[in-house]
Amino acid sequence: MRILIVTHVVTNNDGQGRVNYEIARAALAAGHRVTLLASKAAPELVAHPLARFVPIEPSRLPTRLVQYQLFAARSGAWIRAHRDEFDVVHVNGFIAWARADVNAVHFVHDGWYRCGFYPFRLLRGPYDAYQVIYTQLNAWCERWAFRRADTIVPVSEKVAQEVRALGIDRARLRVIHNGVDVDEFAPGEFGASGQAQRARFGLPEGRFLLLFAGDLRVSRKNLDTVLRALMLTPPHVHLVVAGILRNSPYPALAASLGLAERVHFTDLVKDMPALMRAVDAFVFPSRYEAMSLVLLEALAAALPVVTARTAGGAEVIGPDCGVVLDHPDDDVALAAAIRGLADDPARALRMGAAARELARTLSWQTMAGRYLALYAQVAARRRARAGTGASAEADAGAAGHSVAANDAARTTAHDTAAAES
């Protein structure tokens, strides 16, 4: 197959970029030709003999709103000029002003706006006004893009529900969960290995350690509720927080709640597998999430997971490997779930083992294989439509020739009869 993948970046250190990276890598390994229309692509993909990188220079104009629109205009123009070169055109959400065969949906702006936790208000100030305009414009553009795709691929059932709420037929949807590197996030040996990792990150021994990882500059990830829940748990329960600390309000909030000694801010951690080997459980009650990669990584690291139904991906977690809260802001229920793990370490270990087994069914290889199977189906439908069109054209041509021949025969007979008379 000749495959075109369109996204901003195709790298292995970015959420959406990692998904597309794994798809491209699997497609190339299977012998398919892959063109990457993006601003950035991993060098190992670009160097592959079956790969082609078409760079879209990122705009230097201010605001993502303008930058993304310019990318969409440039990529759309390129797709329209080269559409016939590909068997499958795969885009990601609203990324181009052009039709596509496959549209993978990693975030739904309309779903975020209507989820009940959207924090911005149009008249509250310039920053809030910009955020509302950005969200609403992207929501409109996404609807435009979804209606012009042959098959839509939500990354979770939660996202599928949000896409259907836009009036998209369920028959056009194919849910494919994101993947995880089960080898990279393999848990270490318990005991000495975990102690070594705790020492590496300056974490205390003899404590039940929870891990929270995410963007610490936004309220959507819901660290504030985790901190309030921590106040309702025993003193031996500590929280490790991984994320960029610059401009984050949460260190000050933890101190104001009297939790400074029990909350350990690590700032940005590049070796997340090592950090996950140092903790006992993962807590992530995000107020809105499409399909979090870090949640899948925690499962692969054999960590019991405490999350909320508002976090995409929670749908895969059963009671054997985690706790899914009905409401992300219920600090009492969150504290009870944490105590249930901290007070019964053997249960936490059993749940971690079940989490690891679940993660094995969600590998990058499994995900990429599902995309390639979908590509084959899409390409077959395109060929069938093209064949039907060619057949219809041939039939129309044959019918035209038959009509013309009959007309010619009737004309000849008429002329002969006139001459004889």
Task: Determine contact, residues 103/176, Cβ cutoff 8 Å.
Answer: no
Whether 126 and 243 map to the same domain: the answer is no
Whether 333 and 199 map to the same domain: the answer is: yes
Confidence band of 190 (pLDDT split at 50, 70, 90): low
Q: Tell me: do 285 and 343 sit in the same domain.
A: yes
How does DSSP classify residue 180? B
Same-domain check for residues 229 and 303: yes
Mean pLDDT of 343-364: 97
CA distance 266 to 278: 13
d(CA 183, CA 32): 25
- CA-based end-to-end distance of the chain: 67
Q: Are residues 92 and 157 in the same domain?
A: yes
Angstrom distance (rounded) from CA 92 to CA 328: 28
User: Same domain for 34 and 119?
Assistant: yes
Integer Cα distance of 211 and 201 in angstroms = 13
Q: 6 lies in a domain? A: yes
Q: What are phi and psi of 393, to 5 degrees?
A: -65, -40
User: Dmax over Cα atoms in the chain, in whole Å?
Assistant: 118
- Model confidence pLDDT, tens digit, residues 233-284: 999 999 999 999 999 999 999 999 999 999 999 999 999 999 999 999 999 9
Q: In the Cβ-directed half-sphere of 276, how many Cα atoms lie within 13 Å?
A: 27
pLDDT tens digits, residue range 336-349? 999 999 999 999 99
In this structure, the number of other CB atoms found within 10 A of the CB of residue 16 comes to: 22
Q: Are residues 149 and 236 in the same domain?
A: no
Please write the tens of the pLDDT for every residue from 92-133.
999 999 999 999 999 999 999 999 999 999 999 999 999 999
Are 358 and 209 contained in the same domain? yes
Verify that 198 and 298 share a domain, yes or no. yes
Q: What is the identity of the amino acid at 60?
A: R
For residues 124 and 241, state if they share a domain: no
* 270 assigned to some structural domain: yes
Q: ∠107-159-172 over CA atoms, to 5°? A: 110
* pTM, 2 dp: 0.88
Q: 383 is written with which tokens? A: 């060929």
What is the distance between the alpha carbons of residues 177 and 361, in angstroms, rounded to a whole number? 10
pLDDT digits 0-9 by tens, 137-178: 999 999 999 999 999 999 999 999 999 999 999 999 999 999
- Are residues 165 and 23 part of one domain? yes
Domain count, the chain: 2
Structural domain range at position 212: 192-362
- Has residue 413 been placed in a domain? no
Cβ contact 174:153 at 8 Å: yes
Rounded CA-CA distance 381/395 in Å is 21
Three-state DSSP at 44 gives helix
The answer to whether residue 406 is domain-embedded is: no
- Same-domain check for residues 156 and 55: yes
Distance CA(351)–CA(335), nearest Å, equals 18
Determine, yes or no, domain membership for 166: yes
We report the CATH number of the domain holding residue 28 as 3.40.50.2000
Span 315-344, mean pLDDT? 97
322 inside domain: yes
Q: Is 51 within a domain?
A: yes
The answer as to whether 105 is a domain residue is: yes
